Amino acid sequence: MAKITVCIGSSCHLKGSRKVVEELQYLVKTNKLDDDVELGGAFCMGKCGAEGVSVTVNDKYYAVDPAKVTEFFDDVVVKAVNEEKKA
Amino acid sequence: MNRFDTKVQYLKYRVLREVARLAWKDKLYDKMLDIPAMIVPGKTPTMRCCVYKERAILNERVKLAMGGDKSNHNVIEVIDIACDDCPSGGYEVTSACRGCLAHRCEAACKRGAITFDHNQKAHIDKSKCIECGMCSKVCPYSAIINLKRPCENSCKVKAITMSEDMCAQIDNDKCINCGACVYQCPFGAISDKSYILDVIDLIKKSNKNKKYKVYAIVAPSIAGQFKDVSLGQVVSAIKELGFYSVIEVALGADMVANKESLELAEKGFLTSSCCPAFVKYVEQQFPDLAKHISSNLSPMAMLAQYIKNMESNCKVVFIGPCTAKKAEYRKKEIHKLVDSVITFEELQALIDSKDIDMSSLEEGHLDNASYYGRIFARSGGLTDAVRQALKENGKESFPFNPIVCDGIEQCKIALLRKSKNLLPNNFIEGMACVDGCIGGAGCLTHGIKNKSEVDVYGKEALEKNIHDAIGYLGLTDKK
């Protein structure tokens, strides 16, 4: 199971964390990955200055542009899920 | 010094600041006895009969800043030696009485308590007077005044009486911890206990938030409290103190409004549960109505619960306008969620104890809640939010008929009517403080602009609807 944590603290909220969360929830569902991905939240990851919403995938940090959630999902999340499956 | 409404607040602040300053440096127990002389140096008294009495009282204030009398469970305490034993004779005729012919006072008095001497000047027979105040109202010279003590006057639940030695005393079974007397006593003889030392300890032991994270959750009434700096700078200052992150309690209010609307639609009648002083009042004075109190946690506890579900190893400190919150968090079930509570007064003292210059700080952010969660800070806001939540939850057909009770006196009237089945409304918004939370005793200021500043803060929220603010939060529900 890949663990995705999205920051919903004030800075990231203003940068669009709601959009990131809602799109990830949608993508996980439509790609039928409910059993492979665990979505969670956090209040602040200490990177308020970063361009983009703070997200970690299996504890690896990413700054995600809310306009490019689909790309992030394909490039990072799906990859992480596939790697886990291989392992 | 216009950060506070009164000099009493300023004095309390100075004590808190010095106590905090020493506590950060681990020097409190060596130096706490020096604090009174530090604040009142020299030999010329400025507040009382002599500097020794001033210092003795300051010693008591130091004690309160350190948590107060542990044997008294009430978070509100009287400093006996600071009580000036104000006159409390009730209605009295002053020398402004001109001995007129009209004698409106006599006509107004239904008890025949007014007599006249050979100069036609009025006198009040105390054995007959019921202190209705009618004589005072009709006197064209305003010659009849009420010598009720400010503390007793402020205490609308009648928890304050006079002890045998004339000192104010609080009936803990009646007190609702609202702090009205704390704010009103002109001698600062009644004060709320402070838990700033607990907060400093939490921050220090967190080892810079590595051992555990310390979250500050801030009540929406903070809008407009810090006059010379922006809210964003206050947020940055809170982080400078050593808190890991700052989250707005208005988000908890959104959660409460959402649940409250569903509970109301299901039960048909409800009172709010946000204000701990109101809840305590209902439980103490109207126990039969206690079953109607919403089963929701307060926004403070609701948000703290959410944070703790998300992160098991963390501490949560509430920062707000309220002394009754100090009593709320000390309840066993709430203490698991909220680790400590401080007021805006105490926040100011903490910030200054570390010599943080707020005006030089960058803008921090405080944005999670919707407009509706934020306006909880003022009277009527909760009702607006529940109305909105009913709409968002598709319960528009529910015949919402709220009564907004602004201050504990209005709460009392509504509850009395409900107890006699004479209340036409089906929802009671109960706020113990007049104007709502912005009228709280722990506020720095109580200006007339505070209400509009809360509304402005509300409108600045990124999220306009309650469901937008909380809809996606389910992602953090632990499986």
- What would the pLDDT profile of B239-282 be if each residue is shown by its tens digit? 999 999 999 999 999 999 999 999 999 999 999 999 999 999 99
* 3-state DSSP assignment of residue B342: strand
Region class of B283: left (phi > 0), else alpha (psi between -120 and 50), else beta: alpha
Alpha-carbon gap: A10 to the closest alpha carbon of chain B (Å) = 5
**Ranges B2-6, B158-162, B452-456: which has the least confidence:** B2-6
pLDDT of residue B471: 86
- B475 — pLDDT class (breaks 50, 70, 90): low
- Is B472–A25 a contact, with Cβ atoms under 8 angstroms apart? yes
pLDDT tens digits for range B179-188: 999 999 999 9
Among A1, A13, A24, A45, which would you mutate to test the B interface (most chain B Cβ atoms within 10 Å of its Cβ)? Answer: A13
Number of domains in chain A: 1
pLDDT of residue B477: 43
CA B120 to chain CA centroid, nearest Å: 47
**Is there a contact between B37 and B55 (Cβ–Cβ < 8 Å)?**
yes
Residue with tokens 């291989």: A86
With contacts defined as CB-CB under 8 Å, which chain B residues touch A13? 365, 367-368, 462
User: What domain range includes position A25?
Assistant: 2-72
Q: Tell me if domain B69-85+150-193 and domain B91-146 are identical in fold.
A: yes
**Is there a contact between B94 and B345 (Cβ–Cβ < 8 Å)?**
no
**Ranges A43-47, B186-190, B426-430, B469-473: which has the least confidence:** B469-473
Backbone angles phi, psi at B430, to 5 degrees: -110, 115
With contacts defined as CB-CB under 8 Å, which chain B residues touch A10? 235, 245-248, 364-368
Give the alpha-carbon dihedral of B78, B81, B82, B87, to 10 degrees: 90
pLDDT at B149 over 70: yes
Residue A57 resides in a domain: yes
Among B239, B476, B477, B479, which would you mutate to test the A interface (most chain A Cβ atoms within 10 Å of its Cβ)? Answer: B476
As given in the structure block, the two tokens for residue B280 are 């305590």
Respond yes or no on whether ipTM tops 0.90: yes
Residue A65 resides in a domain: yes
DSSP strands (E only) in chain A: 2-7, 37-42, 53-57, 60-64
pLDDT of residue B110: 95
- B375 — pLDDT class (breaks 50, 70, 90): very high
d(CA A37, CA A20): 15
Residue A19 resides in a domain: yes
Residue with tokens 């009540």: B219
pLDDT of residue B474: 75
pLDDT of residue B272: 98
d(CA B479, CA B472): 16
Backbone angles phi, psi at B343, to 5 degrees: -100, 175
Helix or strand run (H / E) with residue B429: strand B427-431
Return all residues near A34 (Cβ < 8 A) that are at least 6 apart: A28
pLDDT of residue B478: 37
Mean confidence (pLDDT) of chain B: 95
Residue with tokens 């009593």: B327
- Is A44–B245 a contact, with Cβ atoms under 8 angstroms apart? yes
pLDDT of residue A12: 96
Number of residues that make up chain B = 479
Residue A63 resides in a domain: yes
d(CA B357, CA B400): 47
d(CA B49, CA B186): 16
**Is there a contact between B255 and B374 (Cβ–Cβ < 8 Å)?**
no
Helix or strand run (H / E) with residue B122: strand B122-124
pLDDT of residue B447: 86
Read off the DSSP letter of residue B116: E
As given in the structure block, the two tokens for residue B427 are 């929802």
pLDDT tens digits for range B210-248: 999 999 999 999 998 998 899 999 999 999 999 999 999
b/e per residue B94-115 (b: at least 16 CB within 10 A):
eeebeeeeeebbeebbeeebbe
Return all residues near B21 (Cβ < 8 A) that are at least 6 apart: B353, B354
Residue A77 resides in a domain: no
Residue A56 belongs to domain with CATH number: 3.40.30.10
pLDDT of residue B479: 34
Residue A81 resides in a domain: no
b/e per residue B289-304 (b: at least 16 CB within 10 A):
beebbbebbbbbbbbb
Backbone angles phi, psi at B245, to 5 degrees: -155, 160
Whether the CB of A40 is below 8 Å from some CB of chain B: the reply is: yes
pLDDT tens digits for range B60-113: 999 999 999 999 999 999 999 999 999 888 899 999 999 999 999 999 999 999
- Fold of the CATH domain B69-85+150-193: Alpha-Beta Plaits (3.30.70)
- B2 — pLDDT class (breaks 50, 70, 90): low
Q: Stretch B438-456: mean pLDDT, rounded?
A: 93
Whether the CB of B208 is below 8 Å from some CB of chain A: the reply is: no
Instruction: Parse chain B into domains and list their residue ranges.
Output: 1-66, 69-85+150-193, 91-146, 196-476
pLDDT tens digits for range A26-58: 999 999 999 999 999 999 999 998 999 999 999
As given in the structure block, the two tokens for residue B351 are 């910030």
CATH code linked to domain B91-146 = 3.30.70.20
- Is A41–B476 a contact, with Cβ atoms under 8 angstroms apart? yes
Mean confidence (pLDDT) of chain A: 94
- Select from B355, B325, B322 the least CA-distant residue to B442: B322
Whether the CB of A53 is below 8 Å from some CB of chain B: the reply is: no
Per DSSP bridges, beta strands B114-116 and B91-93 are unpaired
pLDDT tens digits for range A8-20: 999 999 999 999 9
Per DSSP bridges, beta strands A2-7 and A37-42 are parallel
b/e per residue B50-84 (b: at least 16 CB within 10 A):
ebeebbebbbbbbbbbbebeeeeebbbbbbeebbb
- B476 — pLDDT class (breaks 50, 70, 90): very low
Of B215, B246, B475, the CB nearest to A25: B475
Residue A79 resides in a domain: no
